[in-house]
């Protein structure tokens, strides 16, 4: 769930809603072959056995993929500077490889895992804040970031019964599109997870808030999204950064609740969803520069806390 949309005021709408191009046949076949192997492995050796296999595979990747290893260590250095020793950076880099490999394995077979078993692997902190926000009937905006496995959290929240819509980059990888299709086939009666793309008309976002949806988008960006994207300069980890605010402004105009969330990977394919906030003290606070600035600074402080707590959860490398 990432990227942002242009706001309805002061910014032109970017174009018609995007539709992802169909996956090439060879990509679909490759994903199907991999997930068939992974599910067969899990049936033979249990999900715990698959998790241990993922840890071993991730360690092997860490040993041989020196380019990606170097990119991640550089990213750690840019974000945390000298806060980590050389040994800590090496350890967090190895954990990053193991975590991302296990997350991808679990994500690829998620639709095959019985619903109750899948839900038992998502643990919650602060979900009462979501329920309180949705009680207002105007939806809830959940500010995400490129820290952790937010795509798994979104799917499990939809399985739990929430109506979820994620806003993401139209150029996303094929894996997520494939898994979404498999998910829809497995649970046709639960079309509770939607995806909108970054060049969607803003009115589509307004409609989801009016339908009392959970709307999730990552606000931290590492590259320009174009001149029609509204941003706010914030200070995070001692650096000045531009974060996206378009979806936040839409949420404020709709009177939606504004929260922040992180999905943390834990051993054995377990995930912890932590809900923070509200980032805006009360619904209907308006969209003044002061309100937006305060919300974004709170977002940045929380992000810095989680980066320091779990550096290996940085998802960009």
Which ranges of the chain have pLDDT less than 70?
1-21, 170-172, 188-192, 198-199, 222-228, 283-285, 316-317
pLDDT at 196: 83
* CA pair distance 116, 160, nearest whole angstrom: 9
pLDDT digits (tens, 9 = 90+) for 105-135: 999 998 899 888 988 998 988 889 999 999 9
Q: Which two tokens stand for residue 193?
A: 């997870």
Percent of the chain with pLDDT over 70: 85
pLDDT at 139: 95
Give pTM, 2 decimals: 0.86
pLDDT at 183: 77
3-state SS assignment for residue 227: coil
In the chain, domain spans: 115-313
**b/e map of 53-90 (b: 16 or more CB within 10 Å)?**
bbbebbeebbeeeeebbeebbebbeebbeeebeeeebe
pLDDT at 11: 32
pLDDT at 223: 54
User: In this structure, are residues 235 and 89 in contact, taking their beta carbons and an 8 Å threshold?
Assistant: no
CA-wise closest residue to 244 among 264, 285, 216, 263: 216
Q: Which residues pair with 272 in a beta bridge?
A: 123, 264
pLDDT at 115: 85
Inter-CA distances, 249 with 39, 52, 124, 205, Å: 42, 43, 27, 11
pLDDT at 12: 31
């Amino acid at each position: 769930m990432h990227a942002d949309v242009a706001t309805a005021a002061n910014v032109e709408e970017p174009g018609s809603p995007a539709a992802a191009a169909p996956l090439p046949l060879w990509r679909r076949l490759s994903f199907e072959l991999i997930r068939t192997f992974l599910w067969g492995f899990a049936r033979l050796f249990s999900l715990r056995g698959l998790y241990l296999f993922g840890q071993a595979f991730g360690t092997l990747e860490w040993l041989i993929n020196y380019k990606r290893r170097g990119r991640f260590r550089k990213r750690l250095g840019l974000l945390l500077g000298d806060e980590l020793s050389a040994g800590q950076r090496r350890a967090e880099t190895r954990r990053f490889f193991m975590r991302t490999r296990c997350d991808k394995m679990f994500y690829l077979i998620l639709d095959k895992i019985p619903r109750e078993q899948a839900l038992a692997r998502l643990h919650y902190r602060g979900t009462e804040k979501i329920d309180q926000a949705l009680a207002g009937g105007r939806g809830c905006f959940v500010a995400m970031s490129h820290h952790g496995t937010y795509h798994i959290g979104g799917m499990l929240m939809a399985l739990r019964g929430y109506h979820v819509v994620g806003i993401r980059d139209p150029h996303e990888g094929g894996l997520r599109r494939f898994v979404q299709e498999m998910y829809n086939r497995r649970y046709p009666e639960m079309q509770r997870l939607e995806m909108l793309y970054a060049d969607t008309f803003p009115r589509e976002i307004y409609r989801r808030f009016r339908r009392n949806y959970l709307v999730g988008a990552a606000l931290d960006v590492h590259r320009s999204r174009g001149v029609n994207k509204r941003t706010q300069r914030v200070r995070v980890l001692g650096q000045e950064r531009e974060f996206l605010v378009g979806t936040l402004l839409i949420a404020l105009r709709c009177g939606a609740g504004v929260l922040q969330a992180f999905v943390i990977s834990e051993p054995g394919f377990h995930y912890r969803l932590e809900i923070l906030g509200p980032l805006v003290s009360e619904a209907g606070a308006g969209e003044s520069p002061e309100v937006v600035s305060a919300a974004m600074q709170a977002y940045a402080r929380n992000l810095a806390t989680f980066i320091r707590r779990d550096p290996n959860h940085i998802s960009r490398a």
